[in-house]
Chains A and B, each alone.
Chain A
């Protein structure tokens, strides 16, 4: 089934919702257009996580971002997980749901890491079938994010940008483009990040992630614990030239700074975005 009404909404500029900021958000209602939540953190029965989430959902648009869908795993889709995901979706009515183009589990064991996929026809067919299964169950399109990676397989025979583009096209899903991840993987695998962005169909990209990383000299780790670096801001500018306005957010997962610091980073994204606003 092809999904209709494929007009990209522009939510503006958002942040990843983090527990450190709950009170400040509720008291101050800061200048943030929307929040992204880590779905698994709220797939619980009650208590503080859902208490705060319900209140923030009343005030801001939310999107759900998962880390454990394991769309590329050779294990069967975890239907208990999907059921819980759908329950959370019904509760907070997110603008969309995303996860990563990777695998996280095998043989019933979870790595809790975003493991890379071999980019070839076998994987392509496998992932496309599973995306369809997930979208049919949820009754909506999902967004898949390009994950950072530190190795490539001998079994790969296509580029990551061709791989994700073909999945988005054939599975009729959407893309969450992480600009930092493109930069990180470009460094680790020695490709030009701009080539990646140039090959992505603009209408498929519904969300952009911006984040920081840890540069170890010979390789970069996607730690999400630093501010966005200048090279990634430039790449974001380049991406918006190609894609047009896209809902953008800053993703910080560790060493969470005061909200004011993240708001300043978000203002930087706004400044760049204003150049390409329609």
Chain B
């Protein structure tokens, strides 16, 4: 039966359960059935390891070659690929680290896996236009109370307790500095997005995080102003300032407001 044969081959390659399958292989030629099977099982693991190296280069740098290969070997065992494209193979890395000792004792690693995977999604996520300051300038004064912002479809926001973005920059810029994860005094929101073809990230100012979260939920602009109440009378000015920053950074893809 074809299904039975494929199941045996798959188990030999993915789970090293070789005995059942070895008897299915024709003998003869210069190499043994065991060597023939090894070509496939080696290629399977090597290919997936390469994919994880490509997707998590900074996580790799943080733990070094030996530990990274151990992490990947366990990941490959526990999360066989369920998608036809290798693009999605690493999607459970943060979950894997979070649920396995000793990696879950090092939250900076989990944060880095989340950060690097988000870039994967940002890189080839849905395209959209970026609005300009000119688009903002034509909003009629009476329409501002109805204004809702649409952020880029690739927009991601994460709370980080560690200096994950700084480590990412350091490793990506090939700095010689030693990687030292440092815990922030309080967690900070970091955003990732793509504008046109370029992927960006930025840690948000303290007051900006709640305001941008409301914008991402497409709440009306007055609610965004209210979230900045610590600025008192200056709250609308601060909201306008943030809007200008978001527009210039290509974070906004649509302005929705009542025109009548």
On A, residues with C-beta under 8 Å from B are 40, 43-51, 68, 70, 72-74, 78, 81, 103-113, 115, 117-118, 122-123, 126, 150-156, 188-190, 218-219, 221
Contact = CB atoms under 8 A, between A and B. Distances in A.
B10 A106 contact: yes
A123 B2 contact: yes
Given A45-B124, A46-B127, A48-B123, A106 B87 contact: no
Interface in B3-58: 3, 5-7, 9-10, 13-14, 23-26, 28-31, 33, 35-37, 39-40, 43-44, 47-48
15 contacts: A43-B85, A46-B125, A50-B127, A68-B84, A73-B6, A74-B3, A110-B82, A111-B10, A117-B2, A118-B2, A123-B2, A151-B36, A151-B40, A155-B5, A189-B29
Given A105-B84, A155-B24, A111 B44 contact: yes
B197 A51 contact: yes
B140 interface: no
Contacts, number: 124
A112 B47 contact: yes
Given A115-B6, A190-B29, A221 B39 contact: yes
A47 B124 contact: yes
Contacts of A81: 84
B81 interface: yes
Interface residues of B, number: 45
B14 A47 contact: no
B86 A115 contact: no
Contact of A218 (B2, B31, B125): B31
B148 interface: no
Interface in B78-124: 80-87, 89, 123-124
Given A111-B14, A150-B36, 9 more contacts: A40-B85, A46-B126, A50-B127, A51-B127, A74-B3, A106-B9, A113-B40, A152-B25, A219-B39
B5 A44 contact: no
- Pick the most buried of A81, A107, A118, A190: most chain B CB atoms within 10 A of its CB: A107
B174 to A, nearest CB: 20
A151 B82 contact: no
B60 interface: no
A213 to B, nearest CB: 13
A152 B31 CA distance: 12
A45 B125 contact: yes
A45 B30 contact: no
Contacts of B25: 151-154
Contacts of B10: 106-107, 109, 111
B6 A74 contact: yes
B124 A151 contact: no
B82 A109 contact: yes
A151 to B, nearest CB: 4
B124 A46 contact: yes
Given A81-B84, A151-B36, A155-B24, A47 B2 contact: no
A24 to B, nearest CB: 17
A110 B84 contact: yes
B186 to A, nearest CB: 33
Contact of A110 (B83, B123, B126, B197): B83
A188 B127 CA distance: 46
A113 B23 CA distance: 21
A44 B36 CA distance: 35
Contact of A112 (B23, B36, B48): B48
- Pick the most buried of B28, B43, B125: most chain A CB atoms within 10 A of its CB: B43
Contacts of A50: 124, 127
Contacts of B31: 218-219
Contacts of B36: 150-151, 219
Nearest to A221: B39
A150 B40 contact: yes
